[in-house]
Structure 1
Amino acid sequence: MKQTYRSRTAFVLGWVWLAFVAFNVWDLIAHYTGQASMVALAVLGALTALVYVVALRPATVFTEGELVGRNPLRTTYLPWASVEDVTVSHSINVEHGGGRVLRLWTPMSTARERAKAQRRSAPRQQRGRYRTEPTLSRSEQAAVDAFAGKTHADWVGEQIRDRAEAARRRDEEATPARVTWSYDAIAAVVAAVALVVAAILAG
């Protein structure tokens, strides 16, 4: 079963930006005014390529056989049995291949998110004679306990570690990671550069 983890905020804002760009491109084409329109299209194209590369494309994907790290310009395919260690700081760092490190672009852990997680893990003080907070069910309390003091990145890092240990228990082969270029991201950057060149030539 395939599972995908990414920054939800960046993903939503990326699609909002695409909707904004689509409307503006239609308006610029419908009311084309020469160089001014070309410059505006070039700016929109450059910003859209940036948004796609850093907000829409990055993802951490779990498949049955491997961890797939989709970073802005490259994709790494790492078999679970090849994962040697996982540490989480600002990003999730996956050690493999005797010293190599795969830094996953998403999800990341910000200082604000980590401080919020620490506040969640602190014992709550009861004020007054009566409790004002709702009583959680057993499953809800278990979920709260599982995430206590942890960010989303911490939780994903634990899932990677668990899957790697399970793969080693099954005696799966630890093969080297495969790294490929992200041709879609490169195409977006090339298209943006082409629009900038066209805007310059239009002048």
Structure 2
Amino acid sequence: MTSSSSPQPPDVAERSYRSPAGIAGGVLLLGLAAWLGGDAMLRGTGNTPWLALAALIFVVPLIIAFTLRPAVWAGTERLLIRNPFRTITLPWGCVEGVRAGYSSEVFAGGTKYQLWAIPVSLRQRKRAARTAARDAATDVTGRASVTAAPLRAPSDQAIDDLRELAERGASREGTPTVRWAYEVIAPAAVGLALLCALAAVG
């Protein structure tokens, strides 16, 4: 007997994408915040230590949200996007398109989601284009030939990878799910409330 169901694409190892520059910047900003805030709490007078503490509670989650938190995981079943304040799970069957213009974006269920972990660098894109043009060889007949695969900017290569996975997993049905990152939003809101209260008290 033969099965009437269509064959499923083979499983692929999950791929992860993050921004090294974002992570490095986040570590530096956290170190700066700890240094300035710690100094204010230890040496400050009056309500300065409390203001510094409230500022740290407010600022640290935001630094983490915009630098260390963004990530993208792509596997056989779905695309998982972790942005600053939301985590979006997209089964490949609901993905309508992936593109990289001035930012990296995925379209699913009639909604556009940005990929914070895959920032687009126009400088890297231009550098890749110049390198590819320089590496193009000319044979003795005067016809241009490329001796190696065209060099791509990292963001463009990542988008190509995601498009390939989306095509493979087009049969994986499902609907987008979105979860808000309350572990980031709640402490930032508490810190902001403390700052406002301390400012009002004077």
Shorter-normalised TM range: 0.7 to 0.9
- Greater mean deviation of Cα atoms: 18-27 or 106-115: 18-27
Structure (1 or 2) with the greater helix fraction: 1
Within 1, Cα distance between the matches of 2:27 and 2:75? Answer: 25
After TM superposition, list the pairs within 5 Å mapping 1:119-198 onto structure 2: 119-124=130-135, 145=149, 148=151, 150-168=152-170, 171-172=171-172, 174-198=173-197
Q: TM-score under structure 1 normalisation?
A: 0.76
Please name the residue that 1:137 is paired with.
Answer: none
Question: Displacement, 1:36?
Answer: 2.5
Within 2, Cα distance between the matches of 1:118 and 1:125? Answer: 11
Question: Deviations 1:63-91 (Å, cap 9, x if unpaired)?
Answer: 44211111121111001222222221122
Within 1, Cα distance between the matches of 2:39 and 2:15? Answer: 38
Aligned residue for 1:123, secondary structure, equals helix
Q: TM-score under structure 2 normalisation?
A: 0.76
2:115 paired with 1:111: no
Sequence identity of aligned pairs in percent?
30
- 1:92/1:103 contact within 8 Å kept: yes
Q: Which residue identity is paired with 1:116?
A: R
Q: Which residue identity is paired with 2:48?
A: A
After TM superposition, list the pairs within 5 Å mapping 1:15-164 onto structure 2: 15-97=27-109, 99-124=110-135, 145=149, 148=151, 150-164=152-166
Within 2, Cα distance between the matches of 1:125 and 1:94? Answer: 32
CA RMSD of aligned residues (A): 2.5
2:20 paired with 1:8: yes
Question: Displacement, 1:38?
Answer: 2.9
- 1:91/1:106 contact within 8 Å kept: no
Question: Displacement, 1:124?
Answer: 4.2
- 1:82/1:164 contact within 8 Å kept: no
* Structure 1 stretches of 4+ moved >6 Å: none
Within 1, Cα distance between the matches of 2:120 and 2:51? Answer: 37
Question: Deviations 1:30-85 (Å, cap 9, x if unpaired)?
Answer: 33412233333444444333322211222212244211111121111001222222
Where does the alignment leave 5 or more consecutive residues of structure 2 unmatched?
Answer: 1-12, 138-146
